[in-house]
Structure 1
Amino acid sequence: MHGQELTRFVIGIIGNVISGLLFLSPTPTFWRIHKKKTTEAFHPYPYLASVMNCVLWIFYGLPIVHPNSILVVTINSAGLFLELCYLAIFFCYTNKKNRGIIVLFLLAEAALLAGIVVITLVCFHTHVKRSMFVGIVCIVFGIIMYGSPLSIVAKVVRTKSAEFLPFWLCLAGFSNGVVWFAYANLYSFDLYIAIGNGVGGFLGLVQLLVYGFYTFKAWRRGPVQTDVKPGEVQLQNVANRPSV
């Protein structure tokens, strides 16, 4: 292992660590759910979406699709395990309606994944074509999830308060996008990881700028009151999850 190949591997390890921290970020939320024995105003959608994201990137990183992507497979396998644990806890403490949603979404995701796998293996017979097809699908899902915190940004703009925009998660999301974008550009250029995480890094930067702007404004005018309840905002949004 020499030069850019070694650098790429090291950056990939760093990316795994940052992504792992992001996957662990909902832990306080689920500890709160466990203690209160209720899911309150939280929703299962971010965790369901993250499950699909992880599964798609695991498939992308397999040797039959895109060889030499073991670090993509390892971090998303760990992420998939954690997301399923979160959903299991959510399932235990939520209402009957949300339980039905969880089951239906997981079945739909399994069916969608099966369709993607069949199309990939039957219709595409080279690594380049398989990587292109699965990579495009991953990019679409990744951009949707990276973009979803814009709902929180909109709330910050409306309330003129960055209280519900978690700084460390925004910073980690931005760092995750930057690190994996760098990983994609070293040794063997990976267009799909580059696009997905390039967009993710940019959206993370937007969140940080919004946070900085409203934090600075709040600092200048002093403490303000807000009638927004913490339970109304999903701090551990799926958009802060890694897209690799």
Structure 2
Amino acid sequence: MSQSSYAENILDRAGMSQCKPCPTPVDTKGKLSASSSAPYEDPTKYRRLAGALQYLTFTRPDISYAVQQVCLFMHDPKVQHMEALKRILRYIRGTIDFGTHLYKSSLQSLLSYTDADWGGCPDTRRSTSGYCVYFGDNLISWSSKRQPTVSKSSAEAEYRGVANPSFRRRMTEKSSENVGHVAIQNSCHGHDSNDRTVDAFGNVETLRFKRSHLIPFRVRDLCTNNG
């Protein structure tokens, strides 16, 4: 599945049809901030382009994080935010034919991956979590989103990050059952955590926070007791 024509249209609207391609959609050396630079002169243009890019993420998981970041500042875009948005467009110019591929697969298992930073937003110190879910060999769901509250530790950020894909996998299992699809054989989850915060199939590690202490137990129930 590809939205190459739609991507070309976005580049035309931005006046960047002949721009120089960029190898990556985001600069990982720094974080965007609400007070990073002077206000951008045409906020309406910024909002239109950022909104259009959101629809492109329907088939382009590779730009989900970058688009999520620029959309955080649609209410008051700065010059630096527009430069970040243009970097995404330059990346799209070089990857115009990219999309999501669906393959015939004999596998009928769900596998999800997730990760989260800790306090990555320089303005609010909220963490950003992302996940992707595979059904067999096919990527079927993905997301990148800033967490709604500040996490007191990296462990809490990881717990919050692992909750969403766990619920998404369970919803997919239920939907598959409702439409009469062959039952999903198994469901598992992988994550990146230096603190060993999540062990959904075994013992839960010592909790390092209070308000989110129920999340790992709910995740473990979803994994072991089929919700």
Same fold (TM over 0.5): no
More helix by share: 1
Higher RCO (C-alpha 8 Å, min separation 6): 1
| TM-score normalised per structure 1 | 0.29
